[in-house]
Homo-oligomer: A and B are copies of this chain.
Amino acid sequence: MNVTDLGVLLKSVDVGDEMYRVIRELYPLCRSITGNGVRETLRIIKKQIPLQIHEIPTGTQVFDWTVPREWNISDAYVKDSRGDRVIDFQTCNLHVVNYSVPIKRRMSLAELRPHLFTLPDHPDWIPYRTSYYQENWGFCLTHKKLMEMKDGEYEVCIDSSLEPGFLTYGEYVLPGQSSDEVLLSCHICHPSLCNDNLSGIALLSILAKYLGQISLRYSYRFLFIPSTIGSIAWLSLNEHQLWKIKHGLVIAGAGDPGKLTYKKTRRGDAEIDKTLLHILKNSGQDFRVLAFYPYGYDERQFCSPGFNLPVGCLSRTPHGGYPEYHTSADNLDFVRPQYLADTLLQSVGVISVLENNKTYVNQNPKGEPQLGRRGLYRGYPHGGVDDLALLWVLNMSDGSHALLDIAERAGIAFADVRKAAEALMESNLLKPIPD
């Protein structure tokens, strides 16, 4: 099976449901940039693909950063004077500011208040907050609940630990014919948030599983890493082999109902950029293309000037672009199997272009070859678009235009141009330039 057949296959199976089941299983875990939540997450992904788990010790220097202490948490609550849990980590892990230091103390509401975070504009939602690199503690809760809290004494408990340990991430390399690599990366550090980024984790897991079943031109490297510190750590450990990365995508926010968004690489005209543009233009859907900007997901690190890797970012609505972003409303209702499936299928379309985007040389470049006697030409207008695709491939295959260039120039979908190239190959009218 090749990647084009895979695209057809995936349309016939319920790949959206398959991804959604992964999300549902991962949803309850309390993830962070380190700790057991990440380990448990990677263990679940390992059910799909033979992931390799890496552990980097606390204190390891990774470029300008230091791997922090490992954070774990078993319980957290705020009890009122009657001993009732008015805020309870067990009901939702967003209730605790991620990376909160441990605390166990009685205090007045006035004393507690600066440590409470709400969203007054969305009084039923719990915000998501972190404090990775400044020692602090806090609770997130609905604004409604905050309004109900009465003056008086509260028992505040965060049963967390912040101790030397490890930064944990997962990596999976699918070898292809070439050692040239396609990098696919998602972040795994957010707790119970579905679109950002259980959707990305589910997409990469399922994509990797299916790609593992076909023969590939490129090698594919899948990263499941904590945001920022994770990509910086990975870059630091893999600096010697970054030259292999020929194309890359960060995938996040893959399951919301918004239109697909591609954020270009820092280079702006890399093959991955042209590929995404072609796929989205030919998707039949509305879409959005953004120039690179140095904010967002881990493309920030891959595209830092010292690396400048050809890595773009694919999402549906971009980060911060929807009210549910980084709140408890980014839940199992917010992501839908149909959008997950669409993002996956477009990603497979992208891979299909990358796998097949070769440069060929017309073996009969002086005038047109006589297609008719080779049974290739049915004569315009009877032959339709295929005849034109044949003529475009012949005319542009001078060694300096790859098939994607030809598809864009001709205004023909890549798949049709590829089919024309295959027909011409069979007639020995076209030969590929070796990789």
> In the complex the two chains form, what is the Cα distance from A228 to B231 in whole Å?
58
Contact call A365/B304, Cβ cutoff below 8 A: yes
* Chain B residues whose C-beta falls within 8 Å of the C-beta of A392 in the assembled complex: 293-294
Docked Cα-Cα span, A280 to B150, in Å, equals 56
CA distance A417 to B380 in the complex (A): 44
Contact size range, A: 35 or more
Using CB atoms, name the residue of chain B closest to A409.
Answer: B291
Q: Which of A108-116, A118-126, A394-402 contacts B (4 or more CB under 8 A)?
A: A394-402
Across the interface, A64 reaches (CB within 8 A) one of B228, B370, B396, B397, namely B370
B395 A305 Cβ-Cβ under 8 A: yes
By the criterion CB–CB under 8 Å, are A395 and B294 in contact? Answer: yes
Chain B residues with CB under 8 A of A307: 365-367
Residue from B236, B366, B372, B410 in contact with A306 in the complex, judged by beta carbons closer than 8 Å: B366
Q: Is the CB of B305 within 8 A of A370?
A: no
Residue A368 interfacial (CB < 8 Å): yes
Task: Using CB atoms, name the residue of chain B closest to A394.
Answer: B294
A235 cross-chain contacts in B, Cβ below 8 A: 366-367
Instruction: Say yes or no: B303 contacts A395, CB within 8 Å.
Output: yes
How distant is A291 from chain B, measured CB to nearest CB, in Å?
Answer: 8
Q: Quick one: which of A364-392 are within 8 Å of B by CB?
A: 364-370, 372-373, 380-381, 388, 391-392
Contact B133 A304 (CB under 8 A): no
Question: Which residues of chain B have C-beta atoms less than 8 A from A306's C-beta?
Answer: 362, 364-367
Which residues of chain B have C-beta atoms less than 8 A from A362's C-beta? Answer: 305-306
A367 and B305 in contact, given A373-B133, A380-B295, A394-B294 (Cβ under 8 angstroms): no
Question: Which residues of B are found within 8 Å of A190, using beta-carbon distances?
Answer: none
Q: What's the Cα separation between A134 and B397 when bound, in Å? A: 28
| A199 proximal to B (CB < 8 A) | no
In the complex the two chains form, is A64's CB within 8 Å of B369's CB? yes
Tell me, yes or no, whether A206 is within 8 Å of chain B by CB.
no
A320 located at the interface, meaning its Cβ lies under 8 Å from any Cβ of chain B in the complex: yes
Q: Is A343 on the interface with B (CB-CB < 8 A)? A: no
**Cβ of A397 and Cβ of B365 under 8 Å apart?**
no
Given A294-B395, A392-B294, A394-B294: A231 in contact with B367 (beta carbons within 8 A): yes
A-B contact pairs, 15 of them (CB 8 A): A64-B369, A65-B367, A239-B366, A293-B388, A294-B368, A294-B395, A300-B368, A301-B368, A305-B394, A305-B395, A305-B396, A305-B398, A306-B366, A307-B366, A307-B367
> Nearest 6 A-B pairs (CB), nearest first?
A306-B365, A306-B366, A294-B395, A305-B398, A294-B391, A232-B367
